[in-house]
DNA sequence: TTACATAATGTTATATTATAACAATTTTAA
DNA sequence: TTAAAATTGTTATAATATAACATTATGTAA
């Protein structure tokens, strides 16, 4: 028997929901929306979210406690993430900018420390809200 | 009567606590530590934190839901923040790097959008933990 | 196939983080 | 002095997240 993909049942349900959403989804919004599919309790949601974040299928927008599907094949399992966040309409876009990624991935602080991972959140007004 | 500074009583108590801490403090840790000074309830803490963030005296480390005092006179009232976060010992340092700030403050995404503000969190191992 | 390990699930309860709502007091500035 | 704005105090509750434990499903190697 072949596996069609690497996601479990709950992970797939929750990924599908996030992936088709045009905006970041919060854990309890997700819970509410998947209850008809048999996912009834917070730990089921948080466990799936943890795994999806870990494998880079989704990202957490830390400033919003919300989750978006990865739209950037280049973010290397969430080691280099950057987002554009509208302060008016809540819209979030993942930024795919090779130069930016390269600049930050190779950043050394004054002590010469290199980092394994970064997360960058830009705030402003999106095109629509400007 | 002259004002010594621009912080109210509760704001000053909470700022002093955060400012003398070597690590990020969480809201309920703060609450516990200031109860002997008469600050008894969460809203008092969160209101002071909100104001201190707003005025740039402290920053919120979004990935940790914790607060640190600003160590960078150049972060321009929290419009341009960058942190180094140790994944092992929880240590957080504010990064003061004029080139980095300049690079990110002038960043344009592919649609030409410029942003008002950014927050960058680097993750890795600090000197001690490496 | 069996049998063991690992991963995923289901479930209840609880911990942690944050805000709503409203009353009272203090500070500021016209 | 007085009215607006800011701050404080207080109770209750909302929103976010995890602990703990039992069960089931899946992968893998003898
Ligand atoms: Zn991504
Ligand atoms: Zn917008
Ligand atoms: Zn700062
Ligand atoms: Zn460390």
Q: How far from B10 is each of B47, B54, B65, CA to CA, in Å?
A: 9, 15, 20
Structure tokens at A77: 């399992």
What gap in Å lies between CA A94 and CA A92, rounded to an integer? 7
Higher pLDDT, A5 or B106: B106
pTM of the model: 0.95
Find chain B residues with C-beta within 8 A of A87's C-beta.
116
> Between chains, do B107 and A100 touch, taking CB under 8 Å as contact?
yes
What gap in Å lies between CA B90 and CA B105, rounded to an integer? 27
- Distance in Å, alpha carbon of A4 to nearest chain B alpha carbon: 33
Residue-by-residue DSSP string for A44-66? HHHHHHHHHHHTTSEEEETTTTE
Q: Is the pLDDT of residue B2 over 60?
A: no
**Largest Cα–Cα distance of chain A, in whole Å?**
53
- Distance in Å, alpha carbon of B19 to nearest chain A alpha carbon: 22
DSSP helix/strand/coil, A31: helix
Confidence grade of residue B61 (pLDDT, cut at 50, 70, 90): very high
What gap in Å lies between CA A69 and CA A49, rounded to an integer? 11
What confidence score (pLDDT) does residue B3 get? Answer: 47
Rounded, the Å distance between the CA of A88 and C1' of C22 is 29
Angle formed at CA A45 by CA B90 and CA A61, multiple of 5 degrees? 50
pLDDT over 70 for what percent of chain B?
Answer: 96
Q: Which chain A residue shows the shortest CA-CA distance from B124? A: A115
**Largest Cα–Cα distance of chain B, in whole Å?**
54
What gap in Å lies between CA A77 and CA A58, rounded to an integer? 9
What gap in Å lies between CA B126 and CA B130, rounded to an integer? 6
Please count the residue pairs, one from chain A and one from chain B, whose beta carbons lie less than 8 angstroms apart.
77
| Pairing state between β A80-86 and A117-124 | parallel
Domains of chain B with CATH codes: 9-124 (1.10.10.10)
Range 3-42, chain B: CB under 7 Å to any strand C atom: 3, 26-28, 41-42
Q: How far from B82 is each of A53, A121, A127, CA to CA, in Å?
A: 22, 10, 26
Q: Is the pLDDT of residue A1 over 50?
A: no
| pLDDT 10s digits, B8-30 | 999 999 999 999 999 999 999 99
Q: Is the CB of A8 under 7 A from strand C?
A: yes
**Contact predicate B100/B83, CB 8 Å:** no
- Break chain A down into helix, strand, coil percent, rounded to 5: 35, 20, 45
What confidence score (pLDDT) does residue A112 get? Answer: 79
What confidence score (pLDDT) does residue B73 get? Answer: 82
Average pLDDT over chain A, rounded to whole? 93
| pLDDT 10s digits, A22-79 | 999 999 999 999 999 999 999 999 999 999 999 999 999 999 999 999 999 878 788 9
């Amino acid at each position: 028997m072949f596996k069609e993909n690497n996601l479990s049942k709950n992970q797939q349900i929750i990924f599908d929901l996030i992936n088709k959403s045009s905006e970041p989804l919060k854990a309890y919004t997700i819970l509410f929306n998947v209850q008809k599919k048999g996912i009834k309790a917070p730990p089921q949601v948080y466990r799936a979210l943890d795994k999806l974040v870990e494998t880079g299928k989704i990202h957490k927008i830390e400033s919003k406690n919300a989750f978006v599907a990865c739209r950037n094949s280049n973010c290397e399992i969430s080691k280099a993430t950057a987002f554009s966040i509208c302060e008016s309409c809540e819209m979030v876009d993942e930024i795919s900018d090779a130069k930016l990624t390269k600049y930050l991935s190779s950043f050394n602080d004054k002590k010469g420390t290199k980092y394994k991972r970064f997360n960058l959140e830009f705030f402003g007004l999106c095109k629509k809200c400007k």
